[in-house]
Chain A
Amino acid sequence: MSIKRTYTEINSKIKSGQAVVVTAEELIGMVKDKGIAATAEQVDVVTTGTFGPMCSSGAFINLGHSKPRMKIQKAWLNKVPAYGGIAAADVFLGATELPEDDPLNNSYPGEFRYGGGHVIEDMVAGKTIKYKAVAYGTDCYPLKEIETEITLQEINEAILMNPRNAYQNYNCAVNLSDRTVYTYMGMLKPGLGNAHYSTAGQLSPLLKDPDFRTIGIGTRIFLGGGIGYVIWNGTQHFPEHITDKDGKYLGSAGGTLSVLGDLKQMSPKWLKGSSFLGYGASLTVGIGIPIPVLDEDILRFAAASDEELYAPVVDYGDAYPNRKPGNLGYVSYAELKSGKISLNGKEIPTASMSSYKKAREIASILKGWILKGDFLLSQPAQLLPNTTSGIVGKALK
């Protein structure tokens, strides 16, 4: 490998305004023009982005102490329950939580108009939130009931803490059955009526550093419009290399992130409550990760294009819900983004559940932050586990 860079060198260039920063999309064109070696010599940082529903998200909120003090046992924010089983004035609000009077799927398919993710969006938008809590009362925390209003700025802290975000790769969902199914991948028509995919492909953060050579604990990121950090691998982080039936390498999959940031710095533009017909409520999250070009190999992976990145096609009519192994083959992100794929001799319209347009915007914003000298790259304390870790998923018996 010809070039080697360190975080110190790159950050020094960022501070002095000398760093060369490109988005992952821009990088693809550069490598085509000049090749990997010349591009690696020139580019210091590659930025990535993704904006999609990330169900495993939520916020730790410190409401401050009431007078008399209260040990919150159960709490509701805009009628959405928040978990009070931590310390006295802290609660955790999950993105997929629903009001107790939500009709769910009793009128199938349920609309799930409002949930925890929508509360988070409303908080970040500066809206007044109705807050109610109950407690069992103790000598030092005697108050048993409270009902009031809060805004994000008035409370002490709100920390966005998402245990599983930014899936490295994800299924392309189809439906082989003869009835419509409503899923977290949207509405899937019967008999292969449509195909929905989720990942941002050539802009997807974890597909651009697929073996986690730069992403790890402490990596500084764009999160929800503000600055955040990778704090651990996400739950269900099962890194693997995917291969087709002939053993050809098709890329990586299975990685996830656990991320955290200050909700007060974030924006409702990048944190949107979402509703999935027949499935539930969620939070659509914007994440962007910078990849330092420490060597040529890192740049080679960061330059992978949609034509080189693949997603497995999975049946959500039967195989997925019943945890049956296997898939229906692989399609490239270039095919998916074209608007149609061929499967079982049939041409199927495709659509994305994440926004490529917004992913591009995030990568550009992050590029701008770095170019301005405002955003320094942080060297991870420990890299995320990759395929050599041997981590595999365990099933609940």
Chain B
Amino acid sequence: MSPPKIVLRFTASISDKPIIYHLVKDYDLVVNIVKANINPHKEGMLILELSGEKYQEGLEYLRSQGVTVQPLTQEIVRNEDRCSSCGACTAICPSGALYIERPGMEVKFDSDKCVVCQLCLKICPLRAMEVRF
């Protein structure tokens, strides 16, 4: 089981600062960057898996630097334009969130059942499944 993911949001004034460096150097934390993005306004977003004994101190450091910290509420979404309802994902989906509605033979997605395993993202031949952070 991987550590819980957290979403960090940086304002423009701090997005060029070596904050991750300090998490590692000063708080002895293991950092796995899952996703990183800086928008045209120089505001930054990072999704991290963070672990280590000084986890709480690390989070406090982040907040003291003006970084917003919140747990990741990840979700899989379906691009209906791209989906052709072949069904390649349905026998792979472990929770039955992706299924075929009969008799129309249309692929349906019940996001409440989704466990965000992300298998469908790469299995879909038309790449109709996307993860939204």
Contact = CB atoms under 8 A, between A and B. Distances in A.
A355 B125 contact: no
Contacts of A339: 100, 102
Interface string A42-73: 00000000011100000000000000000000
Contacts of B82: 272
- Which bracket fits the contact residues of B? 20 to 34
Interface residues of A, number: 33
Interface of A: 51-53, 111, 113, 186-187, 189, 194-196, 272-277, 282, 284, 337-339, 349-358, 360
Contact of B85 (A53, A337, A350, A358): A358
5 contacts: A187-B92, A282-B125, A349-B91, A355-B85, A355-B86
B84 A284 contact: yes
Interface string B111-133: 00000000000110111000000
B123 A187 contact: yes
A184 to B, nearest CB: 10
B105 A337 contact: yes
A276 B125 contact: yes
Nearest to A277: B122
Interface string B26-58: 000000000000000000000000000000000
A356 B89 CA distance: 14
B89 to A, nearest CB: 8
A314 B84 CA distance: 25
B127 A275 contact: yes
Interface in B44-91: 82, 84-91
B110 interface: no
A272 B92 contact: no
Contacts of B100: 339, 351
B16 interface: no
